[in-house]
Chain A
Amino acid sequence: MSNEGSAVDVVMKREGWLAQAGNRYAAGIMGLILLGSLWALSIDTRYVYLLVYVWFGMVYGMFLQYGRFCMAAAVRDLFAVGVPRMAVGMMIAVALYSLIAATVTVGGFSTFHSNALGWHIVLGGLIFGFGIVFTGGCASGSLYKAGEGNVGSMLVIVAISFSQAIFVSAGTWFDGLLPSAWIESAAAKDMPAELSVTQGWFDIFTAGYVWDLKGATLAQILGTTNPFVSSYLVNTLLVTLLPTLAILVLLYAVYYKKGYLRRAKISAPALGDHARGMWSMFTSSKNTAIAGIGLGIFAGLQMWVTGALREHYQIYNFGELLSAMGHTDGLSIQETVFDPGYWYITTQEAQWGGWILEKLGVNMTDNIFFGLDNGLPNPLLNAPGFMSIGIILGAAMLALSRREFKWKLPSMETAVFALVGGTLMGLGARIGMGCNIGAFFATVTNGDPSGWVYLFGMTIGGYLGVKAFNMWIERRSSQQDECEL
């Protein structure tokens, strides 16, 4: 009897779960993803390479929504409201991802490429960090918030997409402002004429400046050859874990210690009290910490799965697989497409904007960014693009199920902030070689110190952004009678 009872309970519970409209919508989205996946696989099993991006994106979206995991908040909330929650969560994710990335690298499946280190990383980070204060979210934060029904965040994505596409393909408007040494250096690179690398500021910047810089992991700089030493001791311990620990201690000392000691009623703290205080800081927002752990682990796993698939298909880039499946439109002149193999956000969004502009008749492939490096694939065949869509859908599923989904139309102020901030984010991402994910999170965790330089720039940008934001709301408050803040 008791068994029957529990079976009935289970059925009741299941019906109860589906009785809520949000859960039904979430189940519907999951069903559509599964059906879409099966449909793609029934056409060609090699689409599994693209589907891996969708599925990992979906998992990222769920963790991001669950933990309110927005890296914009990591720097912004420190300066705006003195809350280190997200900065701590980000550091947890960085530490875990680095350990898994090291294992993946030792296993020979790493898909990572270092970024060239130069002043552009600080500048790009600064512009990006300034922009994210106004958009209310970083690049991946805007994706998960779009999944919560936030139309303002959707506008941010549109602004990031088009601003990048326009910046990287812009004509010769700003060429006169660039050093002539860059133009000479770009001309000396012997690139195909159709790319016109001596015209357009982004091409000259890339070929005449960035290509002359070096990008390397610390193990490559030091020349360590033992894979275990290179990955775990040099790249992970020195480049990731020690700086991460230093940042956590700093966050505790500046933003958490005082409140913790007051709450715990400790007047003369010993080292053990501070250790307990650090632990309290890690666990104070459990959702954020859990999201940090999950994101760190899955970001590492994605590199491993994609690396294994490349080995299986004997390819270096998804472009080869697309060619083999008969899709040659939208490949770069090297027959490649953007295919990082790990968590990345901004480049695929630039491709969406670029693809639409090309369809509107603009020549978008006479540049290095699309023409040589990343291609302009149809969005239906853009694998990392599906990771971004996966993030939106994953976040939407969880938000619907948690009854947190709400269509939210932006006010004029929020819309303007979204478009201007998103444009700054797009510009910063291209100058700095990525967003807080591609240029920071994925780099420091793979032993490339340039990511910390990006974070430094992003922190300064965030600080200046908060100053500007506060000035704006002070001005606005003084103009409004109903708000006496």
Chain B
Amino acid sequence: MRYLAGILCILMISGCTRVPFQKTSFVPAGGVEPREVLENYRRGIPGHYQMLHTIMFQYGWNRVSALGYAEIDRGTGSFAVAGMNPVGVKLFEISGGKEGVTKHFVLEGLSGKGDFTSAMAQDIRRIYFDLLPVPGAEIMKKGSRILFRQADGGGVLVYTFAGKGWRLVEKEYFRDNTLRWRVSYYEYRQKEGKIYPWGIILHNYQNGYSLTVKVKEIQF
């Protein structure tokens, strides 16, 4: 009973993160050339695309889901996203670039919860942009993973490439030796010669929430 209570206690404190995607199958990194991994990945991912997806926002034990539509242009660093409930009622619509963000529409209840627009823009940039490390990033091989570490905004950004196709599976940001956020990419799929992750989970440890994204349709 004590063990059971302990486990329940840990679950209550840490929160349960449901991962509705298949885990990446890891392969040894022994003879793999890191620069080749980056080049292959760079060639494989689309530069400009539109997609329909579902988003689940989880805060503690609260879960809210929505439909989303996004246009991403990695070349210019610009994006436009809209969220709506499954019945089709629009919840938010924003667009932005590398720096700024424009609020086209945010439902009153959402805009009242802090700076929703900026937070959403920041999460979009973390998920969909800067998918490759800078040329001077430090390279490490750890078993079945290849890590690229680089200084970023007063902290350290770590890219992890793994799996049979050696694709980006994680982006993690540390500051003051503490993990601030992590983006995990799951189940890469191929369409018209381009690859994209079918599932994405962003954990924002600083603010204690997660976003789970499932791609439904994508167009390049």
Partners in one complex: no
